[in-house]
Chains A and B, each alone.
Chain A
Amino acid sequence: MRLKRRSVRGLLPVFVTLLILFEIMAYTSTVTRTQDQFFQLYVLGSTGFADNYFPKNSSSLRLGETVKWNVGVVNDMGSLQYVSIRVKLGNATINPPNDTLATASPSPLIAEFDQFILNNGTWQIPLVWQVANYTTSSGGQVTIRSIAMDNMTYSIQGPVTCESITTCNFRMIFELWTWNVETAAFQIGWISANQRQIAWLQLWFALSTYSP
């Protein structure tokens, strides 16, 4: 069947309309959508749920008593990221990380765990730790000297003290640091939409006078 010139002229608007329609569909299927860029930082208990954080559900720890946590990071930044979880030991008076100023806590660092995470990837580490050593001064001040974590004993490089073993609490602070490709170094938090965001968590514990 031969197409007449008049038929072709009549079909041209149909063809152009269909072409525009299908090419829009092709474009929407190939275009990269911008998404919110963020990380998720979490700490779960020994069972992998948000409970059983401490043995016998008591946050009063004895010397050498083992605590098991699962610390995780989810990368929703839209690209591969190099992240670091920094575990610090604080007391009630030392400053935690500042969300407004996006600054890290001045608490002493216990350990650091680094990992490259793919986009939409999750990194979870089992963290097993215990208070390895603490001292009590003549005035009753308690100072944690070392923490054992994942078969390593870390000396605490700074005074984390409490007025009395019965009245004060300590805390484990987890800070999320990420590699900044512009400065070629780790920075606290990450930059999203030209704004510095930070993620951190803390879990409080006390010391029990009873030694096993």
Chain B
Amino acid sequence: MLVISQTDSVQVNTTLQDLQAAEGAGATPSEMQGLINQMNLVASLEIQLQNLPPQDNTARIQLSNEINATLASVDARAVQLKTVASQRTLVDRVVTYSTGLVAAIIGTAVYYFGVQLYTIYRIKRTLRMTIIPR
């Protein structure tokens, strides 16, 4: 069973939460994919670390450092991505709701001019009428 060290599990947890927050804020799968690949690299390094003999301290330290550096880098990029994605989502929402307002103004104008045209048509039609005495 893969046992992730206490320090690494805390860091994996923090990074995962930040990645989920970035995804929830609206980061696209293509933006996330690069970070996911890095996290999967961390998962494979954890397995390598576990398979190393306990006496191989140099390799253990090297792998641990690589894991920590990758996690820190992914975490920093996830936080950055979350900020960018949430700003983009906010702008998208403002644009969507503004489109609703613009559509309502256009709809009202169409209604107004439609009514005006119909009134002019009715007046013209009335004026063209002839009175036929019986």
Contact = CB atoms under 8 A, between A and B. Distances in A.
Bound together: yes
A134 B104 CA distance: 77
A25 B103 CA distance: 11
B71 interface: no
A181 B33 contact: no
A116 B111 contact: no
- Which size bracket describes the interface of A in this complex? 20 to 34
Contact of B10 (A14, A114, A184): A184
Interface residues of B, number: 36
Contacts of B13: 179, 181, 184
B9 interface: yes
Interface stretch (A66-74, A77-85, A192-200, A203-211): A77-85
Contact of B96 (A19, A26, A115, A184): A26
Contacts of A109: 1
Interface of B: 1-2, 9-10, 12-13, 16-17, 19-20, 23-24, 29, 32-33, 36, 39-40, 43, 46-47, 92-93, 96-97, 99-101, 103-105, 107-108, 111-112, 116
Interface of A: 1, 3, 7, 11, 14-15, 18-19, 21-23, 25-26, 29-30, 79-80, 82, 84, 86, 109, 112, 114-119, 121, 179, 181, 184-186
